[in-house]
């Protein structure tokens, strides 16, 4: 009975509430800065010195006193400084000082005339009228960006290229990061064969395990792909026993209402608490979310284990991972920015449908124009890997409306 199921928003709120109580399961690690991209900062990053560490020129030109330059006085060239070199002395009155971008500004100077704006002749330099110069122009004061000891970045931030550059500028050769949560990926289904195999009639290759491993890695986890479990209670029991040591369990397939959908009973046999067993979304309606009691073999004995039973169709698995599992994984990884990531775009085509479930339709968004524009990618349902691979986002169709008009501003889930 779909009306008894939580809506997308209700299910998201439930997952977010559980995620907010999670913390990273293992000891903090120390990694080389060169290997830190994608990891989550476990300790704040501090400035080891003022940034910039000296009054710095942002232009090639002439350091001077702005008032003298603006009077268009002919200033005598008192010295020259390049990046990496402290000035040999202060700036004398009535003088200018040749300076390169990134070089320390001599004491006494309060601005830099750009080389393009002056006339330089016979050891003298003059700002060309009608240009004038204000104090502070083309220089950055010492400590303008940060002071020595300031906290620059807090724990929980995911490290990207910008954070690496900042850490490098502060002399961090290594960073403390949270451990990557270990995520068990268990695909179920008698019809699944390994990707190297030639499927017999009725069989298909197991595409979801590798897909989810890629999604787990992108969300900051360490994927642990288990062998496929067949649709038999005892096979599921032993696979779940094995998977229970992971920090998070993803099980795909076997959560619908079919005769061989045996995952929920198998989880129940292990003492699972189910938070929901379906959501009013499409694809992904049979999604299961819950927790298992701590496994006695686990290193983290006091912790319950969250699990997601992802519907078997690959697009259902992919979408429900992005919407619900990724935020839990991010929380286990210590990240404060948990997603899922939505943005607004202009819809390029009509979308027809009836109010029913919140739909997430494969779509392609272009970001090259003035505003993002999104178009549907035709699909043959939630098993259509071709459509998903040709899309780069999912168009969100709210359950109250079911249809959308071309030109409307719509939400998209970024893949
Ligand atoms: P199920 O939820 O087990 O009924 O599976 C729904 C559909 O998804 C079936 O057509 C399955 O063959 C397919 N499916 C399930 N698991 C996978 C997988 N790991 N890779 C590709 N397709 C799958
Ligand atoms: Mg199945």
Ligand nearest to the CA of 312: 1
Separation of CA 347 and ligand 2 centre (Å): 35
The per-residue pLDDT for range 306-339, each reduced to its tens digit, is: 999 999 999 999 999 999 999 999 999 999 988 8
DSSP 94: T
Residue 140 bridge partners (DSSP): 56
* Ligand 1 pocket member 392 (CB < 6 A): no
Ligand nearest to the CA of 208: 1
* Ligand 1 pocket member 227 (CB < 6 A): no
Peptide bond into 340 cis (omega under 30): yes
* Ligand 1 pocket member 215 (CB < 6 A): no
219: its two tokens: 């969300």
Give pLDDT, residue 296. 53
Q: Atom 3 in ligand 1: which residue has the minimum CA distance?
A: 253
Separation of CA 288 and ligand 1 centre (Å): 15
- Measured CA to CA, the distance from residue 228 to residue 239 in angstroms comes to 9
* Ligand 1 pocket member 334 (CB < 6 A): no
Residue 251 bridge partners (DSSP): 186, 309
Separation of CA 360 and ligand 2 centre (Å): 22
Separation of CA 195 and ligand 1 centre (Å): 14
- Report angle CA 282, 334, 299 to the nearest 5 degrees: 100
* Ligand 1 pocket member 174 (CB < 6 A): no
Q: Atom 6 in ligand 1: which residue has the minimum CA distance?
A: 312
Cβ within 8 Å of residue 337, ≥6 positions away: 156, 157, 158, 330
Q: Which atom of ligand 1 is nearest to the CA of 313?
A: 8
- Measured CA to CA, the distance from residue 98 to residue 82 in angstroms comes to 8
Per-residue pLDDT of the chain in tens (415 residues, 90 and over written 9): 445 899 999 999 999 999 999 999 889 999 999 999 999 999 999 999 999 999 999 999 999 999 999 999 999 999 999 999 899 999 999 999 999 999 999 999 999 999 999 999 999 999 999 999 999 999 999 999 999 999 999 999 999 999 999 999 999 999 999 999 999 999 999 999 999 999 999 999 999 999 999 999 999 999 999 999 999 999 999 999 999 999 999 999 999 888 888 999 999 999 999 999 999 999 999 999 999 997 554 455 557 899 999 999 999 999 999 999 999 999 999 999 888 999 999 999 999 999 989 999 999 999 998 899 999 999 999 999 999 999 999 999 999 999 999 999 999 999 8
Residue with tokens 């399961």: 25
Separation of CA 373 and ligand 2 centre (Å): 36
Give pLDDT, residue 82. 92
> C-alpha dihedral over 376, 403, 7, 209, to 10 degrees?
-20
- 3-class DSSP state for residue 55? coil
Give pLDDT, residue 58. 97
Separation of CA 203 and ligand 1 centre (Å): 10
In 10 A of CB 220, how many CB atoms? 22
The per-residue pLDDT for range 210-229, each reduced to its tens digit, is: 999 999 999 999 999 999 99
Compute the chain's Rg from CA coordinates.
30
């Amino acid at each position: 009975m779909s009306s008894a199921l939580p809506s997308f928003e209700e299910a998201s709120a439930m997952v977010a509430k559980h995620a907010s109580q999670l913390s990273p399961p293992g000891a903090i690690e120390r990694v080389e800065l060169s290997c830190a991209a994608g990891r989550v900062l476990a300790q704040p990053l501090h400035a080891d010195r003022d940034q910039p560490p000296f009054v710095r020129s942002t232009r090639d030109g002439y350091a001077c006193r702005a008032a003298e330059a603006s009077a268009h006085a002919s200033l005598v060239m008192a010295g020259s400084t390049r990046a990496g070199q402290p000035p040999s002395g202060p700036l004398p009155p009535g003088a200018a000082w040749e300076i390169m971008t990134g070089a320390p500004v001599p004491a006494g100077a309060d601005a830099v005339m750009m080389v393009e704006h002056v006339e330089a002749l016979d050891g003298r330099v003059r700002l060309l009228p009608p240009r004038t110069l204000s104090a502070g122009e083309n220089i950055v004061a010492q400590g303008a960006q940060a002071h020595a000891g300031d906290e620059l970045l807090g724990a929980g931030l995911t490290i990207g290229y910008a954070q690496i550059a900042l850490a490098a500028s502060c002399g961090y050769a290594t960073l403390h990061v949270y451990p990557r949560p270990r995520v068990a990926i268990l695909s179920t289904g008698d019809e699944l064969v390994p990707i190297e195999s030639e499927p017999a009639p009725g069989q298909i290759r197991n595409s979801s395990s590798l897909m989810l491993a890629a999604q787990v890695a992108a969300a900051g986890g360490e994927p642990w792909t288990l062998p496929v479990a067949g649709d038999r209670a005892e096979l599921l029991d032993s696979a779940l026993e094995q998977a229970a040591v992971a920090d998070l369990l993803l099980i795909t397939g076997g959560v619908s209402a079919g005769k061989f959908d045996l995952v929920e009973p198998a989880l129940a046999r292990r003492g699972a608490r189910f938070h929901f067993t379906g959501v009013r979304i499409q694809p992904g309606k049979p999604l299961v979310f819950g927790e298992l009691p701590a496994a006695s073999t686990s290193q983290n004995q006091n912790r319950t284990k969250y699990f997601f039973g992802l519907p078997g169709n690959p697009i259902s698995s992919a979408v429900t991972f992005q919407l619900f599992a990724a935020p839990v994984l991010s929380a286990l990884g210590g990240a404060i920015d948990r997603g899922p990531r939505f943005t607004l775009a202009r819809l390029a085509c009509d979308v027809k449908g009836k109010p029913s479930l919140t739909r997430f339709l494969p779509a392609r968004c272009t970001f090259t124009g003035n505003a993002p524009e999104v178009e549907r990618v035709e699909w043959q349902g939630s098993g259509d890997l071709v459509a998903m691979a040709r899309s780069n986002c999912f168009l969100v169709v709210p359950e109250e409306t079911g249809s959308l008009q071309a030109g409307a501003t719509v939400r998209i889930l970024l893949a």
